[in-house]
Structure 1
Amino acid sequence: MGRRTITVHHVRAVLAGAARGGIDTVPLLQEAQIPPLLLGDDRARITPAQFARLFRALYRTTQDEFLGLSAVPSRPGTFAMMCHASLGCRDLGSAVERAATFYGLFPGGPELLLEVAGAEARFTVRNDFARDEERFLTECVLAIWHRLSSWLIGRRIPLAYAAFAYPPPPHEAEYEILFDCPVRFGADRTGAAFDAHWLTAPLVRDEAALDAMLRRAPFDLLSRPEYGTTVAEQVRRALAGQLRTSPRLPALGEVAARLAVSPATLRRRLRQEGTSFQQLKDHVRRDAAIAGLAEGTEPIAELAARLGFSEDTAFHRAFRRWTGTTPGAYRIASGG
């Protein structure tokens, strides 16, 4: 419980390449236990486990590491070979340069570049992609690059910002969650910036660790870890932890005391991060409800009580507001 759910916009995007290639996506959704009807509702969300099953089903079906999202496919094993080629570098900067050079050997895919200007380094995707699925691929490339780089040096690399060379999509709020940094749209080039001193960090992984990581890649690299670097994440973690043991979520004052700030300061900091205490409570309950319905067998009435709803009808109303469907319909469609 407590893991973030995934917007339906990402489900549509990851399916777009397969659909464009003439693949029937309904069996893939059914294999992932994702109700196909959810794709028609912009409010719908799925669990990380459902998205992982869909990702693996697409990978197996397309035999393409880009999942059909690029004009040119990437053969299975390409990413692993790039990782092995980069592992022998002396530092992160050399590894990123080698990775960009490696993918440059395969025209038609993302064109990667590491730029350094003073104290700022920026990893960019130089392509001017127009289709939504290609843009989604560049976002995946940036996220995987960031998590892989952090994994290689054994430390999380804070991003200064992520920039995208296209207008903000309807689900733009998801981007700060995905990249854990300020986000800009309408930029001249898509990329992510960070302090250049990280480029001198030595690589700390060996072949055995790489082999273990590759058995879980690339989805584990796409799954955003909870870094706990923002106030909203610290509040979310406190709320999710409490919900594991009690249906009563702590009040704002209780959470503020745990974080050693005043309630007014906590409200202000959450507002500065674009959220509120009530919104975080709703999201924690929403994600726990979706996970319980999709992955568990707990009766809906018991699930509602465990999540702090005094009446089934209140839970039904909240779940429909969150997802556009009822708890019962979601569970049946998910095979739960």
Structure 2
Amino acid sequence: MEEQQKRLVVSILAYAAQRGLSVAQLCRLTGIDLDALKRDREIIIKPQQVETLWKEAIHLSEDPLFGLHFGESLQLSALGIVGEIIKSSPTVGDALTQAASLATRVTDLIRMEITRGKKSFTIEFVPTASGEQQQFTITFRQMLDFLMVFTIHELDGLLLERIVPNAVKYLVAINDAAEYERVLRCPVKKAKVCVLEFDNRYWQEPVISANHELQRSLLAKVQSATPGAQSLKSRIYTYLMSNSYLGIRSLEDVAANFHISSRSLQRKLQEEGTSYLELSDAVRKSLAVHYIRSGSYQLKEISGMLGYNELSAFTRAFKRWTGKAPVHYQAESAAS
């Protein structure tokens, strides 16, 4: 539990940095030893420190839905051994069953219960004994948001497609229904339970493991390409790159994740001498070159991963970026 708690805290801090917050300030306010985290030394993080971390992250980001947006951006690799077990499962059903059994390693406030019906299966997020005493605390609410949205994105990563729940039920009243609907991809109904419902057709689907290798290489590429960058342009670029294994995100999705309107994001990027279109185009170019040089993908696969419906459209874009057709670039890379 201690190691998973530490990983969760590191992931929260990494997302805070992506949002432009000061990690050093957050650690100072919460009493967390940043140097120990950086050096991966043994460190005990108390529940009160996690509670304070959530509070300060919400305050500094001015985002009351910080946990929801954090879950939207997190990848399985950030969960360490839990993520490794989940993604090594043969089917989605097995992966979810494993995730439910391991949820208490991530938090002691909420457990996951899975029920299968004839047409659908449900995942219920149930307060534990300690969670029942803290249902209206910041930590409980942020962890609940995080687990619900992360479960949906976990399915995205396991199947390499955008998964939409049949229904979403939520335990407490929400103030920003439109944002919850955007992130959870379904209208949210107030209920006495917290539940995600999915079509049964996903249950026996085999887990696609290749995307996790792809994601790992993308994250390594991001870490080497943008060390310590703090400008909005750099943070958007990093966000697009690290989440691109599921396709390039829309302007609206990225703006919402950064808790800013689409118009304001475009204006701020313009002040930094760029635009969202230019950034997304730069990401596609970088990824296209990266995929081709890796030698692991066919051009048609690369075209699809970058969001092009036709190979011809990808070919035109690649010629614009490099002055060469992708097939010629691929041949030159293989020969070198």
Higher relative contact order (CA 8 A, sep 6+): 1
TM-score when scaled to structure 1? 0.46
- Structure having the higher helix fraction is 2
The TM-score, its normalising length taken from structure 2, stands at: 0.46
